[in-house]
Structure 1
């Protein structure tokens, strides 16, 4: 026989028990609520204590729920940070590259300012200067060492005038045009400069090797007193180059003298000063003019 589709609760012991329990819970809840309402009116202090006690009982549950929610939020933040790490990394790399470019530009400006300040002090101390200019180009691979200067006859530059930078002697003017000039560098094989050792005045001759270095020979061939680290300056002998301009530093001794390296590198020095050729007459005239212009003591 087919069971009916819908059966009444009374036909099942289990259903009857469930229904009875539900009724008991509902009645108990209603009675408890009524008692709490009566207690809140009749004894507010006791009701408050009961409420505090209920909060103490439910506090651990609240703390646990808060911890779970915090953990879920932390997981969400970690996932968001992981997803955005790629774009953030690219942005930081771009900022780092920009900062490096700024550091390089600042370093270049600081070096340029140092050279300009040194040249300004040079011009203030050296009254033989004619004009200041820039080395536009310089040969570094050819045995003929020539540089192009940015000034020419328009400011009084002519052949034979010494050229120096803030660190030392560069060379001399070879030819001059209307607005540019050619400078025969110190390292050219045809450029011979009378020098002396700075610490004791030992005379010598410096000549270019065509490869960026200098050969230094003493006037006394039998004596070779040079040592690495010796500083050489112009002696003024024979005119043209004024005395006491730094020229080179000795690198090592050789059979005929010493190998030296120029103190002023044309590839690194931009600003230079063109000087009047040195002669005893011009120095005496300059000294006389300076003494005449000085105030009387």
Structure 2
């Protein structure tokens, strides 16, 4: 059955109320417009007051609406800014990581350069240098304190020669092989080095303790008071170690002995210098050949 062409709202009360309200609003709008038109024509002052009142009433609503519109308009820009800042932050973090790596490499190179320059300066100042060798390993975890050099008798190294670094004395050669040498470190319990106090020349002995430190022991009891910070250098007594090489610095006060820390630490050194002995032992005296017995002359 075809739908009815009658579109009148009589069949629906809701439609009737909607149509009625529409008519009322239209008529009210027409009346208000006519009143405002007449008021603006015949009484402009009153129309200005009414216009101002309407403006005062609608301004907060317009301001709030404008703020909402501006906020909504800035959302795409804020999202774009966040993505851009996020990307720039990631790029800056990557650059910082690369710069940190380069900075560490530069610091390591600077420290290495300082050590090598100090080693070169020591070698240039000392004319008794035998060779410069690399410290291959040290026995830091053992009860004995040894170091191993990659130079031996083929490079002129012999038993008993002193070994030092840029900071001070390391030890002495205990055994020299063809291309390696074992060094007895000053921290070994069997190591004893004659030293003197730098501030007054008081003689003493620097004996290793086997734990990375050195005991400074008195030779006489005239002035055996050790102070923290006292520096002891080699004295040259015994003819092995050249005088004036730094050995250790006292850590705590003591009377007959005091603990000290060595200046040279083989576990952090790369290179060491092997020197000739300060006063090498004289060569052995030649053995005189036996005098041949006189040959008797035959009688005529």
TM-score by length of 1: 0.68
Summarize the Cα distance change of 1:134–1:77 in structure 2 as closer, same or farther, 3 Å threshold. Answer: farther
- Structure 2 unaligned blocks of 5 or more: 8-22, 24-66, 283-300
User: Hey, what's the Cα distance between the residues in 2 that align with 1:78 and 1:178?
Assistant: 75
CA distance, structure 2, for counterparts of residue 98 and residue 258 of structure 1: 47
Q: Which has the higher helix share?
A: 1
Q: Do the aligned partners of residues 263 and 239 (structure 1) sit closer, same or farther apart at CA in structure 2, a change above 3 Å counting?
A: same
Q: Structure 1 residues 72, 180: CA separation in 2 closer, same or farther (over 3 Å shift)?
A: farther
- The alpha-carbon deviation at position 269 of structure 1 amounts to 1.7
2:240–2:280 contact (8 Å) kept in structure 1: no
User: What is the match of residue 118 of structure 1?
Assistant: 118
Q: Which digits, 9 at most, give the CA deviation of each residue in 1:136-164, with x for residues without a partner?
A: 21122222001111222221112111000
Distance change in 2, residues 1:145/1:73 (3 Å): farther
Contact kept? 2:235, 2:242, Cα under 8 Å: yes
Distance 1:202 1:140 in 2: 31
Cα 1:280/1:137, change in 2 over 3 Å: closer
Gap runs ≥5 in structure 1: 6-13, 15-66, 283-297
Aligned to 2:113, the other structure's residue is in SS state: helix
- Residues 1-297 of structure 1: matches in 2 within 5 Å? 74-221=74-221, 223-279=223-279
Deviation at 1:97, TM superposition (A): 2.3
Q: Secondary structure at the match of 2:115?
A: helix
How many residues are paired up? 227
2-side partners of 1:141 and 1:222: how far apart? 38
Normalised by the length of structure 2, the TM-score is 0.67
* 2:251 aligned counterpart, secondary structure: strand
Q: Indicate the structure (1 or 2) with the bigger Cα radius of gyration.
A: 2
CA contact (8 A) 1:141 1:211 kept: no
| In 2: Cα distance, 1:73 partner to 1:112 partner | 59
Distance 1:210 1:157, change over 3 A: same
Please state whether the residue corresponding to 1:115 is helix, strand or coil. Answer: helix
Residue 207 of structure 1 deviates from its aligned partner by: 0.6
Return closer, same or farther for 1:72/1:234 CA change in 2, 3 Å cut-off: same
Cα RMSD between the aligned structures? 3.1
CA distance in 2 between partners of 1:106 and 1:211 (Å): 33
